[in-house]
Amino acid sequence: MKCFQIASYGAEPRLVSTDRPVPGPGQIGVRILAAGLNFADLLMAQGRYQERPEPPVTLGMELSGVVDAVGAGVDGFDAGDRVAVYSGQGGLAEYGAFPANRAVKIPDAMPFDAAAGLLIAHGTSHLALARRARLSAGETLLVLGAAGGVGLTAVEIGKRMGARVIACARGPQKLAVAKAAGADHLIDSETADITEAVRALGRADVVYDAVGGDQLSAALRAVNPEARILAIGFASGDVPQIPANHLLVKNVDVIGVNWGGYLRFNPDAMTTTFAQLFDWYAAGELNVHISHRFPLAQAAEALETLRARKSTGKIIVTMGD
């Protein structure tokens, strides 16, 4: 089979041929049809991700496809089941073997590309807003990086939860995408003073930050008392240093969100999130915005599109029909 992998950390990923994996105990074998790319794939390739499996490593942290084999001790899955898998690695391949407890069945009417793009970005935003920030209807949510892979899902889910959503993104094109996802107010991070713009809109109760750097510093100066800051990621490359005295003055919470970490200490939280997301999707109340699709043969180009921040929403790599 073909897969897109790194031979060592820091090496350029490349398409190679390797043996098709056989599922072991507790695993399912999947004929992979689509995989979603995430910023964490770039970190994984560079050896900068918090998890560092022994190379060679096949990239691709989320995928969808059809079960084609079931390992010993697995209940609840059969050959032919349509599934999505939070794999952590191995998604950019024609076949894979994955722990069954990382898989979830998907609705019959759900396209494979949508299923591949729903788990990490939507899962992160739902868990962050519902569980970690306890976002309430009527509150104001500020989303930094609102047209990116996770930011766009925060706009959509925040709106679905009844919040007033302020979307902050770079340039009119990305802001238009955020507006279509449900944003009530738009701030152009290229031209606007973020602090003053948010203050003029009545300040924020929750800040969803996947950017870091100066944008978070600006947002912090424009929050209400008892605001919650969600630290999702640092796409700017700048991990902000938050002055504790600023938090003290306004009774502000800073909340870290490591979505994948729940697999280790509370996987039921992820299961609850997936159930809600698939229910919303089946009811037509949730979309998976896909801006780019690439075949597996063009996985390098797909990764470069992600690195250059040319996408709005998800980048999907497809392996077949």
Same-domain status, 18 and 69 = yes
Of 140, 145, 147, 148, residue with least CA distance to 215 = 145
Same-domain status, 97 and 21 = yes
Same-domain status, 92 and 18 = yes
Can you give the pLDDT at residue 309? 83
Whether omega for the bond prior to residue 56 falls within 30 degrees of 0, making it cis, is yes
Residues of the chain with pLDDT under 50: none
Same-domain status, 232 and 297 = no
Q: Answer whether residue 160 is part of any domain.
A: yes
3-state secondary structure of 128: helix
Q: What is the CB-side half-sphere exposure of residue 257 using CA atoms within 13 A?
A: 30
What is the four-CA torsion angle of 146, 150, 152, 157, rounded to 10 degrees?
A: -120
> Pick from 231, 257, 283: which residue ends a domain?
257
Q: Answer whether residue 296 is part of any domain.
A: yes
Q: Which residue has the tokens 């349509």?
A: 82
119-147 tens-digit pLDDT: 999 999 999 999 999 999 999 999 999 99
Our count of domains for the chain comes to 2
Cα–Cα dist 56/44, whole Å: 11
Q: Answer whether residue 298 is part of any domain.
A: yes
Same-domain status, 94 and 207 = no
What is the four-CA torsion angle of 266, 131, 143, 263, rounded to 10 degrees?
A: 10
Structure-block tokens of residue 281: 């999707």
Same-domain status, 158 and 47 = no
Q: Answer whether residue 7 is part of any domain.
A: yes
CATH number, position 212:
3.40.50.720
Rg (CA), the chain: 20
3-state secondary structure of 220: helix
Q: Answer whether residue 280 is part of any domain.
A: yes
Contact in structure between 62 and 270 (CB atoms under 8 Å): no
Range of the structural domain that residue 214 is part of: 136-257
Longest dimension (CA), the chain: 60
Can you give the pLDDT at residue 160? 96
What is the four-CA torsion angle of 241, 265, 128, 294, rounded to 10 degrees?
A: 100
Of 92, 150, 202, 83, residue with least CA distance to 309 = 150
Cα–Cα dist 306/314, whole Å: 9
Structure-block tokens of residue 34: 């689509």
> Pick from 213, 232, 257: which residue ends a domain?
257
Q: Answer whether residue 15 is part of any domain.
A: yes
Contact in structure between 162 and 300 (CB atoms under 8 Å): no
Structure-block tokens of residue 160: 């679905």
Same-domain status, 276 and 294 = yes
Q: What is the pTM of this model?
A: 0.85
Can you give the pLDDT at residue 321? 54
Of 43, 63, 45, 39, residue with least CA distance to 6 = 45
Structure-block tokens of residue 279: 């229910």
Of 94, 160, 177, residue with least CA distance to 122 = 160
Q: Answer whether residue 129 is part of any domain.
A: no
Contact in structure between 176 and 289 (CB atoms under 8 Å): no
Structure-block tokens of residue 16: 């190679």
Same-domain status, 99 and 24 = yes
Amino acid code (one letter) for 153: T
Same-domain status, 7 and 88 = yes
Q: Answer whether residue 124 is part of any domain.
A: no
Q: Which residue has the tokens 């807003």?
A: 129
* Strand bridging mode 82-86 / 103-105: antiparallel
Cα–Cα dist 161/208, whole Å: 14
Same-domain status, 197 and 253 = yes
> Pick from 206, 232, 257: which residue ends a domain?
257
CATH number, position 96:
3.90.180.10
Same-domain status, 177 and 278 = no
Same-domain status, 19 and 109 = yes
